[in-house]
Structure 1
Amino acid sequence: MEVCCDLEVDVNGEESFMVNKRVIASYSGKLNKLLGKSRGSTRNLKVVFHDFPGGAESFELISRFCYNNGSIDITPANISLLFFAALFMEMNNSVSGAHNLLEKTEKSLEEMRYWTWSELLIALKQCQDLVPAANSLPLLEKCLDCIVGRLALTSEASPCPSTSSPDSSGIRFSCDTRSTESLKTCSSRATWWFEDLLVLSPNLVEMLVKSLVSRKFDHVIISRFLFYYQKSKFYTVKSDAMRTIAETIINLLYILDQSCVSCKSLFGILRVVQNLNINKSSRNKLESMIGSQLDQASLDNLLVPSPHGINHLYDVNLVLRFLNSFLQGGMSKASPMRLRKVGVLVDLYITEVAPDPCLRPSKFLALAMVLPDAARDSYDELYRAIDMYLEVHGGLSEEEKMKLCCILNYEKLSEEACIHISQNAKFPSKSAVQALISQQFKLKSLLHATNNSKFYADSPSSATEVGNEGSKCHDSNEQCVLYAGKLDLSADNEKLRAHLHGMQWRVMELEKMCKKMQTQMAKFTKSRVSSSQSHARSLPKLCS
Structure 2
Amino acid sequence: MKFMKLGTRLDTFYTEEATRSVVSDIPNDLVIQISNINYLLHQFSLLPKCGLLQRLCADSDDSSTVTIQLHDIPGGEAAFELCAKYCYGITINLSAHNFVSAFCAAKFLRMTEAVEKGNFVLKLEAFFNSCILVGWKDSIITLQTTVKLTEWSENLGIIRRCIDSIVGKILTPPAKVTWSYTYTRTGFNKQQQLVPKDWWTEDISDLDIDLFRCIIVAIKSTHMLPPQLIGEALHVYACRWLPDTTKITRPESSVSQTDEVTDKHRKILEIIVNKIPSDKGSVSVGFLLRLLSIANYLGASTVTKTELIRRSSLQLEEATVSDLLFPSHSSSNQYYYDIDMVAAVLESFLLLWRRTSPAPTENTQFMRSIRKIGKLVDSYLQAVATDINLPVSKVLSVAEALPDIARKDHDDLYRAINIYLKKHPDLSKADKKRLCRNLDCQKLSPEVRTHAVKNERLPLRTVVQVLFFEQEKGSRENDHRMPTQELLLSRGKQIPIVRDELSKLQLGSYEQTIRSDGIPRTPAPSESSTRDDQKLKRPDKKTPLEAGKKGGERTNRGEGI
Q: What TM-score does the superposition give when structure 2 sets the normalisation length?
A: 0.60
Structure 2 vs 1, CA of residues 260 and 157 (structure 1 numbering), >3 Å: closer, same or farther?
Answer: farther
What's the secondary structure of 2:342's corresponding residue? helix
3-state SS of paired residue (1:259): coil
Deviations 1:347-371 (A, max 9, x none): 1222333354432232122011222
Moved more, 194-203 or 346-355: 194-203
Question: What residue number does 2:226 align with?
Answer: 218
Structure 1 residue identity aligned to 2:320: S
Q: Alignment RMSD, CA only?
A: 5.4
Give the SS at the match of 2:438: coil
Instruction: Name the residue aligned to 2:503.
Output: 499
1:297 paired residue number: 319
* Corresponding position of 2:459: 427
Does residue 53 in structure 1 map to residue 57 in structure 2?
no
Cα distance in 2 between the residues matched to 1:193 and 1:47:
46
Judging changes above 3 Å, is the alpha-carbon distance between structure 1 residues 376 and 154 closer, same or farther for their aligned structure 2 residues?
same
Q: Which residue of 2 aligns with 1:201?
A: 208
The 1-side partners of 2:312 and 2:354 are apart by 13
Task: Give 1:342's match in structure 2, choosing from 369, 373, 377.
Answer: 373
Deviations 1:385-417 (A, max 9, x none): 34554563655354x555444434566455776
Cα distance in 1 between the residues matched to 2:317 and 2:85: 64
Separation in 2, partners of 1:258, 1:396: 45
Q: 1:352 to 1:283 in 2, by over 3 A?
A: same
Query: Secondary structure of the residue that 2:172 maps to in structure 1?
Result: helix
Q: Which has the larger radius of gyration?
A: 1
2:272 aligned to which of 252, 256, 267: 252
Q: Give the Cα–Cα distance (whole angstroms) in 2 for the partners of residues 325 and 414 of structure 1.
A: 31
- Are residue 358 (structure 1) and residue 389 (structure 2) matched? yes
Could you tell me which residue of structure 2 aligns to residue 62 of structure 1? Answer: 83
Q: For the structure 1 residues 420 and 212, does the alpha-carbon distance in structure 2 shift closer, same or farther, using more than 3 Å as the test?
A: same
Aligned residue in 1 for 2:362? none
**Which amino acid is 1:6 matched to?**
D
- Aligned pair partner of 2:339 in 299, 313, 316: 316
Contact 2:452 2:466 in 1 (8 A): no
Deviation at 1:204, TM superposition (A): 2.8
Q: Describe the SS at the equivalent of 1:214.
A: helix
CA distance in 2, matches of 1:353, 1:376: 19
Who is 1:396 aligned against? 428
1:299 alignment partner AA: V
1:131 paired to 2:153: no
For residues 270 and 514 of structure 1, the distance between their equivalents in structure 2, rounded to whole angstroms, comes to: 62
Segment of structure 1 superposing worse, 208-217 or 192-201: 192-201
1:61 Cα deviation from its structure 2 partner: 3.6
Measured in 2, the distance between the counterparts of 1:439 and 1:139 equals 82
Code of the residue aligned with 1:304 in structure 2: it is: F
Deviation at 1:143, TM superposition (A): 0.6
SS at match of 1:190: coil
Contact 2:50–2:109 (CA under 8 A) maintained in structure 1: yes
Q: Structure 1 residues 27, 501: closer, same or farther in 2, change over 3 A?
A: same
Matched letter for residue 136 of structure 2: W
**218 and 494 in structure 1: CA distance in 2 versus 1, 3 angstrom threshold:** closer
| Equivalent residues of 1:130, 1:136 under 8 A apart | no
1:375 to 403, 406, 427: 406
Letter in 2 for 1:153: T
SS state at 1:17 partner: strand
**CA 439–135 in structure 1, closer or farther in 2 if over 3 Å, else same:** farther
Partner of 1:451: none
Superposition deviation, residue 420 in structure 1: 7.5
Give distance in 2, aligned partners of 1:210 and 1:363: 41
- SS class of match (1:115): coil
Q: Deviations over 1:213-232 (max 9, x none)?
A: 22332333344344445556
Cα distance, 1:508 vs structure 2:
8.2
Q: CA deviation at 1:151?
A: 1.6
Matches within 5 A, 1:88-167: 88-90=108-110, 96=115, 115-117=134-136, 119-121=138-140, 123-128=142-147, 130-131=149-150, 133=152, 135=154, 138-155=157-174
Distance 1:511 1:26 in 2: 119
- Aligned-partner Cα distance in 2 for 1:352–1:510: 47
Equivalent-residue separation in structure 2 for 1:252 and 1:91 (angstroms): 41
State the match for 2:545 in structure 1.
none
* SS at structure 2 position matched to 1:185: coil
> Counterparts of 1:28 and 1:192 in 2: how far apart (Å)?
44
CA deviations on 1:499-528 (whole Å, 9 max, x unpaired) are: 1586799998499859999xx99xxxxxxx
- Please state which structure has a larger fraction of its residues in helix: 1
**Of 3, 9, 32, the match for 1:9:** 32
Q: Point out the more displaced range, 347-356 or 321-330.
A: 321-330
Paired residues of 2:464 and 2:501 also in contact (CA < 8 A): no
Letter in 2 for 1:80: V
Query: Residue 438 of structure 2 corresponds to which residue in structure 1?
Result: 407
Task: Report deviation, 1:146.
Answer: 0.7
Partner SS for 1:80:
helix
1:103–1:433 CA distance, 2 compared to 1 (3 A): same
The separation in 2 between residues aligned to 1:48 and 1:511, in whole angstroms, is: 111
> What displacement does 1:320 show?
1.7
Q: 2:558 maps to what in 1?
A: none
Distance in 1 of aligned mates of 2:157 and 2:151: 12
* Amino-acid identity (%): 25
Aligned residue pairs total: 442
- SS of corresponding position for 1:358: coil
Q: CA deviation at 1:190?
A: 2.5
